[in-house]
Structure 1
């Protein structure tokens, strides 16, 4: 059993406490017997040449490997995972590309075999997989107590790279729309209107772009590649969660909601985007 993180709630103050203690808490968490066993197994087995059969036949290895990509929910879908890896990351007819999921594509890329069917990972790649596993495992442990804090930590770990490495603003917003945990942050932080997810994906992207410009400035993708932009979005998310969970609209923090909308009503902006997209 892993040592559980110490939290004081899922509010803004709870997030501030977690961030101020995260380095120490994560080190303690990683010293847990279960976590150390998985890390040692990953380093030992992934540092040698192995085959896809070796990986798929070792559940104790496969689970932390999948967790390093945020794909631990796929652990019981062996045939599905095997097909993603075996078909490779670049085949347009392959599962990874057809699913259009960056995590699956990266899984297939990392574990792509050579012409002899062998998989050989570099020391740097093994380090990345181990670090990905321990980070995701810590986030999961946090989420077992405070789901909103897990969502915030996941956002913090993913959004900056996505913002920096997306080919265009449009592709950036499309990737966010297809990523449920990231969209949960933006849904609350941007106070998206009811029915947003039922819109055509192009209209969703238009609306997110306009809402992000209102909240983060003229270049929101660049803002989300910075610590300041990420922190602001997480704090807006947690504040809105506090408001949603409060006893009434008069609870402390409700007045901040009008400030967060920047004096421009959400429904008005929603209507404007719809009218401009038709």
Structure 2
């Protein structure tokens, strides 16, 4: 993809790439929108979402369903149609709805966006709603393309986008990608994940208050800290001969097996 090649040209430092990318982010996003592969899919969304009378018809359209799940970062769960249809049908208004019982906030975002429990597929008749869906798809694909060249940069972009709507630290702890960023922001090892969830929430509330994460200037400094630590860890790992051998041995070209994280179903 064009964007992944451009990001690769920004250098190996995540911190430097982040600075350069943000300096001209609108131009990079426009390049992404004009990518033929992306435009074909966004055109397909616009042409077909409004023709669906039910969520069953949406999931039966493989191409459309892949785009929608991608828009919400759930492409690896696209096969779990029964579960996702239940999430969408129940919406997010009722406290007992499935989306509100799941730790991962992506499910609630999906349910809230469709409002299927109130409107069915009526939202799909609104050009503004369709525009928002297309924008979500483009954003997800942009971050994915960035991640093909620099995964740390993708994580930083994702965190910056999602934290704006976060209302509690439990939402961050329930989002694997955001949690990775938070750990490095706080200078914590990955083993910290074994600590009791409530104790983690209390620690992060004190160490990284949400009001700081929602302040653009403070957030930028925290993201720079994350990227600097991530770069340092990557450089340290690459300098390890054992890691180099393992990386060479496992670079088979096959994608990893994806499974549903059981913590998604835990009720806080």
Runs of 4+ in 1 over 4 A off after TM superposition: 114-118
Q: What's 1:108 paired with? A: 111
Matches within 5 A, 1:174-253: 174-193=170-189, 195-212=191-208, 220-247=209-236
Q: Give SS of 2:63's match.
A: helix
Matches within 5 A, 1:107-146: 107-113=110-116, 118-121=121-124, 122-146=126-150
Q: TM-score, normalised by structure 1?
A: 0.76
Q: What's 1:56 paired with? A: 59
Q: Partners in 1 of 2:100 and 2:162 — Cα distance? A: 20
Once the two structures are superposed, residues 28-83 of structure 1 have per-residue CA deviations (whole angstroms, 9 ceiling, x without a partner) of 12111211111111122234562112201111111111121111111122222222
Q: Partners in 1 of 2:122 and 2:104 — Cα distance? A: 22
Q: CA deviation at 1:194?
A: 5.6
How many residues align structurally?
Answer: 232
Matches within 5 A, 1:23-172: 23-48=26-51, 50-113=53-116, 118-121=121-124, 122-162=126-166, 166=167, 172=168
Q: CA deviation at 1:115?
A: 7.8
Structure with greater helix share of residues: 2
Q: Is this contact kept in 2: 1:52–1:119, CA < 8 A?
A: no
Q: What's 1:13 paired with? A: 16
Q: CA deviation at 1:236?
A: 0.4
Q: Partners in 1 of 2:84 and 2:17 — Cα distance? A: 37
Name the larger-Rg structure: 1
Q: What's 1:273 paired with? A: none
Q: Is this contact kept in 2: 1:47–1:123, CA < 8 A?
A: no
> Relative to structure 1, is the Cα distance of residues 181 and 114 closer, same or farther in structure 2, using a 3 angstrom cutoff?
closer
Q: What's 1:255 paired with? A: none
Q: Partners in 2 of 1:114 and 1:105 — Cα distance? A: 13
Once the two structures are superposed, residues 178-226 of structure 1 have per-residue CA deviations (whole angstroms, 9 ceiling, x without a partner) of 11111111111211146321111111012112222xxxxxxx3222112
Q: Is this contact kept in 1: 2:105–2:175, CA < 8 A?
A: no
Q: TM-score, normalised by structure 2?
A: 0.78
Unaligned runs of 5+ in 1: 167-171, 213-219, 249-278
Give me the CA root mean square deviation: 2.2
Q: What's 2:261 paired with? A: none
> Relative to structure 1, is the Cα distance of residues 33 and 115 closer, same or farther in structure 2, using a 3 angstrom cutoff?
same
Answer with 108-117 or 201-210: which moved more. 108-117
Q: Is this contact kept in 1: 2:90–2:116, CA < 8 A?
A: no
> Relative to structure 1, is the Cα distance of residues 118 and 18 closer, same or farther in structure 2, using a 3 angstrom cutoff?
closer
